[in-house]
Amino acid sequence: MMNTKEFDTAKMDETTKMLTIIILLFLILFPISSFFFEPPKPMISIGSFVLMYGAIFISYGFIPKRIAVSDDQILIKNFYGSIVININEIETFDKIEKTGFNLRVAGVGGLFGYFGYFNGKDVWYVTNRYKKVKIILKSGKVYMISPENPDDFVKEVQLRKSEMV
């Protein structure tokens, strides 16, 4: 029998909220203001409108809409698809509260959160830098997610992992 527990994605921390507001204001207002440039450059205005509004929608799609733990898997689902982590493939996992320097290799760094590849090959789905759970697989692959209650998430995964032994 499949027993699944759902976890809410963490609400944005204050820094992420401020970054999101600043970036959104720029991404929304710059394309609008470009229509008032003298001399008019309609292709630049339309191009910046499409690019910047596209960036907003693409970034928003990376926010995990669902984080769930079943008997043998962790599911992270966003607009673009699902990431499934088999619990028996997890080497270590732990709550991370510190916010050190992290190098974004590819992805989103502040708009609605931190999504993509960081520090080389670490895959992040983080909306709150203070509520992170780091999952390291036996293969060496690293996932970083941010459930609203990281302690409950870690306990649930520990419980499922211990039941598999």
CATH assignment at residue 141: 2.30.29.30
pLDDT of residue 24: 92
Domain count, the chain: 1
7 Cβ partners below 8 Å, 6+ apart? 67, 68, 69, 147, 148, 149, 152, 153, 156
34: confidence class by pLDDT, cuts 50, 70, 90: confident
Give the DSSP per-residue string, 16-46.
HHHHHHHHHHHHHHHHHHHTT-SS--HHHHH
Containing domain of residue 122, as a range? 1-165
pLDDT of residue 19: 92
Asked if residues 10 and 148 have their Cβ atoms less than 8 Å apart, the reply is yes
pLDDT of residue 103: 67
Q: Is 50 a residue whose pLDDT tops 70?
A: yes
Mean pLDDT across 83-89? 92
pLDDT of residue 2: 64
Asked if residues 125 and 144 have their Cβ atoms less than 8 Å apart, the reply is yes
Mean pLDDT across 28-55? 83
Which residue would you say has higher pLDDT here, 74 or 38? 74
The sign of the CA dihedral 7, 8, 13, 18 is positive
pLDDT of residue 1: 45
Q: Is 97 a residue whose pLDDT tops 80?
A: no
**β-pairing, 142-145 with 122-126?**
parallel
